[in-house]
A and B are shown apart, each in its own frame.
Chain A
Amino acid sequence: MLKNLSIEWLKLKNYRTFWWLIGLFVLCLIGSNYITYQLKVVTSMQSKGGLDLLLGSPFSFPDVWQAVSYVSSYVLFLPGFLMVILITNEYNFKTHRQNIIDGMSRTEFALTKIFMAVILSILSTIVVVLITIVTGLTAGSSFSLTGSVYILYFLLQALTYTLGGLLLGTLLKKSGLSIAIYLIYIGFIKKLISFLLDRYAGGIGSYMPVKSSDELIPMPFFKQVTKSLITPPDGTWLLIMTIFFIVAFYWITVKRFKTQDL
């Protein structure tokens, strides 16, 4: 696998789109957290502390783990998007064929791409951990690992997006179509189906693919208010469904790549 990863590195090292997207992603992670943090600081100041009771202190330890994970998760569509590009590029250039022709096995090829998705997710998580620590300390609180389970949830969510993007690209092969469906699903269809299921199928909308991982990290702001207004979905089931979808994405990707005409 190490050899296959170094092959992947050769493909990426000089691929400018990859580095641009990685750069944008990190910038968006930092930017979105910075803006939200500043917004909180400004709101607090303007209300002269009056809103603090409602807002809580989401950017101080231990709540900062949840707050930064939550805000950062909105940018997770980018690494998933990147995976769609990386796999459909291979189909576009027909280099997936060349890799197989040169002697790579189909399983190896699929597993290498899955490994890339995992690495991308872990790197995203590491960046989020760093942002969390910096933010928590900047907010003047002292470091604590309490609540850091949200980092694990963030990792699961990242895996859902990257492996989901990979699966979609593997199924559709065409880059334009895959990218369009990926973005439409994330931005619109996911919410629509979830809404319809909640309404007509007894509230199971939260357990949809990708949606279940989204809801692992509940909104950290106005905790007191939301708690009394909405009954949150069952956390254990969210976790089970998220892991189920990750395994399913992995399994279908390998299976599909092994059996399709390349």
Chain B
Amino acid sequence: MSTTVLSIQHLSKSYGALQALSDVSFEVPKGSIYGVLGPNGSGKTTMLGIITDVLRPDSGQYTLLNSPDHEQARKKTGTLLETPNFYPYLSAYKNLEISALIKGVSTMEIDPVLERVGLLARKNSKFSTFSLGMKQRLAIGAALLGNPELLILDEPTNGLDPNGIAEIRNLIKGLAVEGRTVVMASHLLDEVEKVCTHVAIIKNGKLLTSGSVGEVLASEDVIALRSVDLKKLSDILPGIAGFSKLEWQNEQILLHADLGRSSLEAINQYCFENGVILTHLALQRASLEARFLEITH
């Protein structure tokens, strides 16, 4: 059994002169919560549209759930793409009945799913009478039908109030605990940081970076160091565990290192033991925000 749930290879797509997606490749490991992060209009929805067969790529391939049969794979995938798409004149229950029938899922599953997204009491109300948040929750409910192995959620907290956002985030985390894989597109860095284990950052249709959240977003810590003898300090710093690079800046040295493998005390002690007495030692950890801006600019 392979551990990759979704594999995307060299996907490209243009709308006329606009290159919406350009040679994007990455793999989603089983059990991960994979965030696709990018500003609005960066190509996130285009990419998710292609892997759900709603859009046609110009070139490239994808494999969903390791299955050559895309229809069967989609039946085992719960998807919320862009906006909730339902028949406005049908009730919540009847809309899910249609989804269930297509997926080949028993209609017995509809009530529990409605319960889970808090719409059971409104199951016989027409979709057109729902608020934006309720529509969004119904769409998430539809995605949950049939206990899918993989969920593809495009901006799942769109239109929800703070309570609803927290609920959905908990729901997503719960899904991952149950062993499901979630691919989630978002333009909110904070959301990806709070929920996801992995992230791919897309801008202007290009994949800038991908990997685990730790690797991509918080890869490096920056530590500012001062000493009387900066030259000697710069000579010994590469010996620190987790060292990546150093920068000279005015009267101080900026050390880029992974504090997961070292610590401020350890650095201080190391310098002392190597004959350098620090006059200043401060963590200038690049904020996620700054990191994100750094990647996307």
Q: Which A residues form the contact surface with B (CB < 8 A)? A: 3, 6-7, 10-11, 14-16, 93-95, 97-106, 259-262
Contacts and interface: CB of A to CB of B under 8 A. Distances in A.
B54 A104 contact: no
Interface string B56-75: 10000000000000011011
A225 B81 CA distance: 63
Contacts of A99: 98, 102
A103 B103 contact: yes
Given A16-B89, A104-B71, A105-B71, A10 B97 contact: yes
A187 B81 CA distance: 40
Nearest to B55: A261
B32 interface: no
A106 B103 CA distance: 14
A11 B91 CA distance: 11
A10 B87 CA distance: 11
Contact of B101 (A6, A101, A105): A6
Given A7-B102, A103-B103, A14 B85 contact: no
A100 B87 contact: no
B89 A10 contact: no
Nearest to B143: A101
A98 B99 contact: yes
Contact of B56 (A11, A16, A101, A259): A259
Interface in B72-96: 72, 74-75, 79, 81, 83, 85-90, 94
Contact of B72 (A94, A101, A103): A103
Contacts of A100: 52-54, 74
30 contacts: A3-B101, A6-B101, A7-B102, A10-B97, A10-B98, A14-B89, A14-B94, A16-B89, A93-B86, A94-B83, A94-B85, A95-B86, A95-B87, A97-B54, A98-B85, A98-B99, A98-B142, A99-B102, A100-B54, A101-B74, A102-B74, A102-B98, A102-B103, A102-B142, A103-B72, A103-B74, A103-B102, A106-B53, A260-B56, A261-B56
B88 A93 contact: yes
A104 B90 CA distance: 20
A59 B56 CA distance: 55
A121 B56 CA distance: 33
A248 to B, nearest CB: 23
Nearest to A17: B89
Nearest to A260: B56
Nearest to A259: B56
Contacts of A11: 87, 90, 98
B55 A93 contact: no
Nearest to A104: B102
A105 B102 CA distance: 10
Contacts of A7: 98, 101-102
Contacts of B55: 261-262
A96 to B, nearest CB: 8
B75 A103 contact: yes
Given A261-B49, A261-B54, A261-B56, 18 more contacts: A7-B98, A7-B102, A11-B87, A14-B89, A14-B94, A93-B88, A98-B142, A100-B74, A101-B54, A101-B81, A102-B98, A103-B72, A103-B103, A104-B102, A105-B71, A106-B53, A260-B56, A262-B54
A239 to B, nearest CB: 37
Contacts of B142: 98, 102
Interface in B15-64: 49, 52-56
